Structure 1
Amino acid sequence: MDDLAGFLRIRRSRVDPAAVGIPADRYRRVEGLRREEVAHLSGVSVDYYVRLEQGRATQPSEQVLDALAKVLGLDDIEREHLDRLARQRRRRAKAPNVRMRPELLRVLDLITGAPALIMDHRMDVRAGNPLAALLYGRPLPGLNTARHIFLEEDERGLYGDWENCTRDVVGHLRLAAGKYPDDPRLTSLIGELSMGSDRFRRLWARADVRARSHGPKAYRHPLVGLLELHQENFALPGESGMELIVMSAAPGTPTEDGLSLLAGLAANDTESTTTPGTRMRK
């Protein structure tokens, strides 16, 4: 999983010295910045920074974290992740174990013109509407989208922008690992993906953190062709760690026509869309 010391080491190795005003040195043997360079640029002692990277310093101040984030080139999401890692020893969030409320399932039933699903922090699909099941071409119970992308699909499969999707997934799991470091199922999933996918291992080693709330999402569907959708992620209330994800098509586009075709398939296949195989309750 993730911890402050490991995150600092990885992100330090990714900083171009020239980008922070350090002249190129042909004798430089370390990748990225040296520890003493990070300490100097962030205004802390070398000894203190070394203790941070060794996991021996606790509770760094907000000023120190801000300075480190600036030197390491972290964005707002990564800065929040850094803060969360720094506070882990004081407060370790338990992984949520939330049952699906019937009201949420009714909301999914109301969304008929767009694929919609509910996903937890592990990227397990907890429930979805019939159009989402047709989009993925499989029953939604048991679907983990991280496992699906890395171990079941590839750049020629369902995902129109597979490479960017894989980066999003790894960034999301890195964020979840920081929030729930003691979640054994999440740890097991990350281990499984690391063992089964070279690309996952390479991306995980970069320590990127992503929290995607909206944006384009393309699929190559075997029945209706390319679907260029727009995805919106809505965090559900409370501490459930779940999101409602809705993928819509712009009006008057071929993608809108493609979704209409899929919706027609759903309407003509009543059994597959109304049995427990379509939605999952936990």
Structure 2
Amino acid sequence: MDTSRDADIGDFLRSRRARIQPEEVGLPPHGRRRVPGLRREEVAQLAGVSVDYYIRLEQGRGTSVSDAVLDAVGRVLRLDPTEQEYLRTVARPGPRRAPASPAAVQKVRPGLRLLLDSMDRVPAFVLGRRMDVLAWNALGDAVVGFSRMPAEERNMPRQVFLDPRAREVYPDWAAVAAETVAHLRLDAGRHPRDRRLATLVGELSIGSEDFRRLWADHQVKEKTYGAKRVRHPLVGELTLPYETLAVAGDPDQMLVVYTPEPASRTAERLDLLASWTATPEPARE
């Protein structure tokens, strides 16, 4: 039995039950409750399944559960599309495979490296499994400083939670931290037997009380688009909208591109930064 997966699905469903009050779904509150939110019996009733069936699902014993049941549970718990995908992933894991060798290294194909190098007006980088930073372009390096990090520390969760400068670098640190953990949790659901991920989560849990709290919340979120504020030591604060693009042919890699508004103060500061860091070493691991 995969006990880590059982804990993941159980903790996830319990956390989603806790955020919904009975009166929100037309149920009487039934007096004082020991725990917040819906009881397992109420979720089962609203989803149209037996209590025993739902309990087996929450205990990780529902590996043959149907799409219809998962959809019904998702509707009751008001899961968004990303949460629904996560539920399907942890409820019905794929065939058991041996974990990847700890020595295995993700590679960025040459064509993607050339694309990065050609994007000389915007910061860009490639993220892989566990949000490891696999490659970057010159302006991306100038903004984040990837080349100055030891190779084993080029990982976004490590930077956010273990780098003592992170709260200064990110004025909206709390939002950045929550988004980072939510995406890492999604990656964990897709790859439940990843030894490196387990090691990373353990390291972050020991090193950061904030990470432990956010990890226990079981939030899941796809990294798609948004905006991030970065306080740069040379040019000041940058407001950086970003787009995250899936890399065709490798579902475990993402191209992240910062897209500042044309003629904005951030665009001007990036131009200045680019002129100061002309012709550095191009995108590398």
Give the TM-score normalised by the residue count of structure 1: 0.90
Residues 170-249 of structure 1: matches in 2 within 5 Å?
Answer: 170-249=181-260
| Distance of aligned partners of 1:154 and 1:64 in 2 relative to their CA distance in 1, 3 Å threshold | farther
Answer yes or no: is the 8 Å Cα contact 1:93–1:180 preserved in 2: no
User: How far apart in 2 are the matches of 1:162 and 1:177?
Assistant: 22
Shift of residue 15, structure 1, vs aligned partner: 2.2
Q: Which moved more, 1:112-121 or 1:55-64?
A: 55-64
- Find the partner of 1:120 among 108, 114, 128: 128
| Distance of aligned partners of 1:10 and 1:210 in 2 relative to their CA distance in 1, 3 Å threshold | same
Shift of residue 159, structure 1, vs aligned partner: 1.3
| Aligned-partner SS, 1:274 | coil
- The answer on 1:56 being equivalent to 2:67 is no
* Deviation readout 1:14-49 (Å, 9 max, x if unpaired): 322232223334421122211111111111101111
Answer yes or no: is the 8 Å Cα contact 1:124–1:144 preserved in 2: yes
Shift of residue 54, structure 1, vs aligned partner: 2.0
- The answer on 1:78 being equivalent to 2:83 is yes
Kindly provide the amino acid, as one letter, of the partner of residue 34 in structure 1: R
- Find the partner of 2:145 among 122, 137, 142: 137
| Aligned-partner SS, 1:205 | helix
Kindly provide the amino acid, as one letter, of the partner of residue 88 in structure 2: D
Identity of aligned residues (%): 46
| Distance of aligned partners of 1:138 and 1:105 in 2 relative to their CA distance in 1, 3 Å threshold | closer
Answer yes or no: is the 8 Å Cα contact 1:11–1:206 preserved in 2: no
- Find the partner of 1:274 among 267, 281, 284: 281
Residues 9-158 of structure 1: matches in 2 within 5 Å?
Answer: 9-88=14-93, 90=95, 98-139=106-147, 141-142=151-152, 143-153=154-164, 156-158=167-169
Kindly provide the amino acid, as one letter, of the partner of residue 195 in structure 2: P
Unaligned runs of 5+ in 2: none
| Aligned-partner SS, 1:131 | helix
Shift of residue 9, structure 1, vs aligned partner: 2.3
Answer yes or no: is the 8 Å Cα contact 1:123–1:144 preserved in 2: yes
Kindly provide the amino acid, as one letter, of the partner of residue 124 in structure 1: D
| Distance of aligned partners of 1:93 and 1:63 in 2 relative to their CA distance in 1, 3 Å threshold | farther
Answer yes or no: is the 8 Å Cα contact 1:92–1:181 preserved in 2: no
| Aligned-partner SS, 1:263 | helix
User: How far apart in 2 are the matches of 1:13 and 1:92?
Assistant: 33
User: How far apart in 2 are the matches of 1:17 and 1:217?
Assistant: 37
Answer yes or no: is the 8 Å Cα contact 2:83–2:221 preserved in 1: yes
> Taking CA–CA contacts closer than 8 Å with sequence separation of 6 or more, which of the two structures ends up with the larger relative contact order?
1
Kindly provide the amino acid, as one letter, of the partner of residue 214 in structure 2: L
| Aligned-partner SS, 2:230 | strand
User: How far apart in 2 are the matches of 1:35 and 1:257?
Assistant: 55
Shift of residue 100, structure 1, vs aligned partner: 2.0
| Aligned-partner SS, 1:229 | strand
Aligned Cα RMSD in Å?
Answer: 2.1
Unaligned runs of 5+ in 1: none
Kindly provide the amino acid, as one letter, of the partner of residue 180 in structure 1: H
Give the TM-score normalised by the residue count of structure 2: 0.89
User: How far apart in 2 are the matches of 1:20 and 1:6?
Assistant: 21
Kindly provide the amino acid, as one letter, of the partner of residue 199 in structure 2: S
- Aligned residues, how many? 274
User: How far apart in 1 are the matches of 2:222 and 2:284?
Assistant: 25
